[in-house]
Amino acid sequence: MTKPHQPWFVRRPLPEKVERVHLIGIAGAGMGAFACMLQEAGYTVRGSDRGVYPPMSDVLTERGIAWMEGWDAAHLDWGPDLVIVGNVCRRDNPESVAADARGIPAVSMPQALGDLFLDGRTSVVITGTHGKTTTTSLTAWLLHHAGLEPGLLVGGIAKNFEAVYRLGSTRAAGEPLGAPFVVEGDEYDTAWFDKGPKFLHYRPTIAVLNNIEFDHADIYDDLDEIVENFDRLMDRLGEGCTLVANADDALVMQRAERARANGCKIVTYGFGEGAAMRAVDVAPDAGGCAFDLVIKGLELGRIRSPLSGRHNVWNTLAAFGVGRALGLSVDKLQAGLSTFAGVGKRQEEKGEAAGVLVIDDYAHHPTAIRETLAGLRARYPGRRLWGVYEPKSNTARRNFHQQAYAEAFVSADRAVLARPYQKSDGLTAEQKLDVDRLVADIEANGTPATYLPDADAIAAHLAAETEAGDVVVIMANSGFGGLVGKLLGRLAGRTDDRAG
């Protein structure tokens, strides 16, 4: 990614007046949400995609947003003022080629978000390898609960809003800035013509940098390339900006010094004594956790959080750091935190049947799996914990984290692994995750482990082997073949004495 020959942070000119917008790749989760944002903001919106299916097809139809199947130059005949090129779009996409040939301005979604929604707003950009979706949703809720009417764009369902986006309050006459806009700052690349990370387009006034690890092996060769792109974000933070940085992550703090040299204000958080804002005496419990909040050596009271796990303490501190930067008191932040409903597919309790609690979680990186399981172990003490995982991401299917995955399941009582997602990407056997070895290594670390090929086999296995009181957490960055529903269905039909 962003090799010397690759373009990055490409900004294309927008027309002076934009009323009609066409989105190439409109059925993707992010592009579909953006289409709805544009429509709600008053634009006339249409788009196209391949394989448009529920739920996004239903969402677009219900909103009255016309979409066309496939990609064809004729799809631009309706005369849009602007074309937004989704990340799924390749250089030879017929509509992208036609837009250039017809002189229709075409920009990436991140640029369009920055230019059409973040200009004139206090842009709050949440970044890092882990925790972005939870931290973005929590931050937006804390600001909303305190009356700041923020905008929001996030890569998951923020349950307090039951939405992935909100326009928030725009600038009023005489006001220098509109309400804050909180956006999840993805480090994935932007478009076929812009191989830099999306977050470079988000005009940060306040940025969060929660952690840095290796991920996205399909576009990044190594950790150094990831660090390079976070440095580019730091270079966009100067006087008048604030960086909320995790003091417990050495790579984060090295990046923070780069921002500080540009005149950016640095606010640090974490568990260690070097952090300006600390969580001390953390006590997990069945309701989440509690900790003492210490800011610059001053104890400001006991914080009660509905979120479990050390990673969610970091996420909470990051959100508090944003709130404090915007002038909110600890009391207001605690009031918002106590009513935070969480995020879809983040430790989300999906149901309990035959006495077995089934939880859905997005964890797929080994660090996220380890922290999720550790948090659930603390939240459900005395209950047998099953960790079920599908290696599907472009990084997970490779052997980069082979050893880290083996160590990620230590908090589970049982581990079940699915076959890595099959994809024609030219990986050799030596480059792929070795599941047989992984099962053996997990067992060597003390957790009985099983490999099964697919969701149906896993559902049957779990229905047969789980007992009343067990907790099953299903971890994947996808739908995992409908495993959650399949398992709950099998458990509901179980009639043996384990259900009682």
- Distance separating alpha carbons of residues 199 and 324, to the nearest angstrom: 22
pLDDT-wise least confident of 34-43, 340-349, 385-394: 385-394
Identify the three-state secondary structure at position 124. strand
CA distance 122 to 206: 7
260 pLDDT above the threshold of 70: yes
Cβ atoms of 474 and 387 closer than 8 Å: no
Q: Using N-to-C axis directions, what is the helix angle for 310-325 and 330-338, rounded to 10°?
A: 130
How far, in Å, CA of 400 to CA of 215, rounded?
Answer: 9
Number of other residues whose CB lies within 10 A of the CB of residue 416: 24
pLDDT at 15: 96
CB atoms within 10 A of CB 33: 19
Taking the C-alpha atoms of residue 496 and residue 109, their distance in angstroms, rounded to an integer, is 53
| pLDDT at residue 425 greater than cutoff 70 | no
Q: Which of 66-75, 93-102, 129-138, 386-395 has the lowest mean pLDDT?
A: 386-395
Q: Mean pLDDT across the chain, nearest whole number?
A: 92
Q: What percent of the chain has pLDDT over 90?
A: 79
Among the four given CATH numbers 3.40.50.1820, 3.30.470.10, 3.40.50.720, 2.30.30.100, the one describing domain 20-108: 3.40.50.720
Write the class of the CATH domain 120-338. alpha beta
- Over residues 297-309, the mean pLDDT reads 95
What are the pLDDT digits (tens) for 115-140?
999 998 999 999 999 999 999 999 99
CATH number of 348-493: 3.90.190.20
Residue type, 264: C
Residues 6+ apart with CB under 8 A from 154: 133, 136, 137, 140, 164, 165, 182, 183, 184, 343
Mean pLDDT of 210-217: 86
**Where do the CATH 3.90.190.20 domains begin and end in the chain?**
348-493
User: What whole-number distance in Å separates Cα of residue 318 and Cα of residue 132?
Assistant: 10
For the chain, how big is the Rg over CA atoms in Å? 23
| Mean pLDDT across 451-455 | 93
CA distance 169 to 151: 7
d(CA 410, CA 487): 23
pLDDT at 95: 97
Provide the pLDDT confidence category of residue 345 given band limits of 50, 70 and 90: confident
Q: Start-end ranges of CATH 3.40.50.720 in the chain? A: 20-108
Helix (H) or strand (E) holding 441: helix 435-444
Q: At residue 363, does pLDDT exceed 90?
A: no
pLDDT tens figures, 368-424: 999 999 999 999 999 999 999 998 777 776 777 888 899 999 999 999 999 887 666
Q: What is the mean pLDDT of residues 322-343?
A: 97
Q: Where in the chain is the domain with CATH 3.40.1190.10?
A: 120-338
Q: How far is CA 278 from the centre of its chain?
A: 24
Residue 205 has pLDDT above 80, yes or no: yes
Residues in the chain: 500
Region 241-250 average pLDDT: 97
- 44: amino acid identity, one letter: T
- pTM, two decimals, is 0.90
Determine which of 140-154, 384-398, 448-462 has the lowest per-residue pLDDT on average.
384-398
The confidence score (pLDDT) of residue 424 equals 66
